[in-house]
Amino acid sequence: MIITYLGREAVKIQYGDLVLAFNPPAKTSSYKINKFGADIALETLPHEDMCGGAEMVYGDKKPFVVSGPGEYEVNSIFIKGLAGESSYDIDKDDPKLINTIYALTVEGINMLYLGAQDGPLPKDTADAIDSVDILFLPIGGNGVLDAKTAYKLAMNMEPKIIIPIHFDSKKDESLVAFLKEAGDHSEPVDKLTIKKKDLDGKNGDIIVLLPQQ
């Protein structure tokens, strides 16, 4: 499995010929990613920065778009969408938006993608996934979890690997704050190639993926 971070909240996961895209921006967003085709596109929030799933068409690939709470089975992957909450790009007095958190297993690896989550996780999160191998964690603040809150939440989840999202570069203040909170000094990498056996011995390891634009 190859995991690539595309910036903001966009993540690409590929294993074999199957490609998953998480929160790709729409064409109307100011955030841009390189064009590629996806078999499954998962959107957590109906916002132009995160709802370009239907546009992930390229070559012979046309995505099945998952965009809300519920249970889905696509290409033999079982996906659970949980109703979380987000304050992304809304006024502070407005009611929070529904942010869909996704739990899924790919190649035997249990993943939890939090998207634009802001605030505590829904109570049924623990029931959706037995244990978290890889946690995709927003750290940017301003409507999603901030660095300190994100790290505390991650430690409570006890994932084997934490991949921060919702930052723009290795010098991003939110990333610097998050790594300081965690006491982590590891160097960022361009992508993560991982198999189930590689998780042995991992315990809250932070892997920073540089945005690939």
pLDDT tier at 45 (50, 70, 90 boundaries)? Answer: very high
CA-based angle 24:37:139, to the nearest 5?
Answer: 25
Model confidence at 52: pLDDT above 90: yes
Number of Cβ within a 10 Å radius of residue 194: 19
Instruction: Give the C-alpha separation, 170 to 187, whole Å.
Output: 9
What are the pLDDT digits (tens) for 72-130? 999 999 999 999 999 999 998 899 999 999 999 999 999 999 999 999 999 889 888 88
Mean pLDDT, range 160-189, rounded to an integer = 94
First CA to last CA across the chain, in angstroms?
A: 20
pLDDT tier at 212 (50, 70, 90 boundaries)? Answer: very high
Model confidence at 188: pLDDT above 90: yes
Model confidence at 143: pLDDT above 90: yes
Mean pLDDT, range 169-174, rounded to an integer = 93
Mean pLDDT, range 154-162, rounded to an integer = 96
Q: How do the domains of the chain map onto residue ranges? A: 2-196
Model confidence at 213: pLDDT above 80: no
Mean pLDDT, range 198-203, rounded to an integer = 96
CATH architecture, domain 2-196: 4-Layer Sandwich (3.60)
Model confidence at 172: pLDDT above 90: yes
pTM beyond 0.85: yes
CB 164 within 8 A of CB 206: yes
Mean pLDDT, range 37-50, rounded to an integer = 97
Residue 85 amino acid letter: E
* The predicted structure's pLDDT at residue 186: 82
Model confidence at 185: pLDDT above 90: no
Express as a percent the part of the chain with pLDDT over 90: 91
Continuous segment of H or E residues that includes residue 179 = helix 173-182
Q: Which long-range contacts (CB under 8 A, 24 or more apart) does 198-203 make?
A: 199/109, 199/133, 199/160, 199/161, 202/160, 202/161, 203/158, 203/160
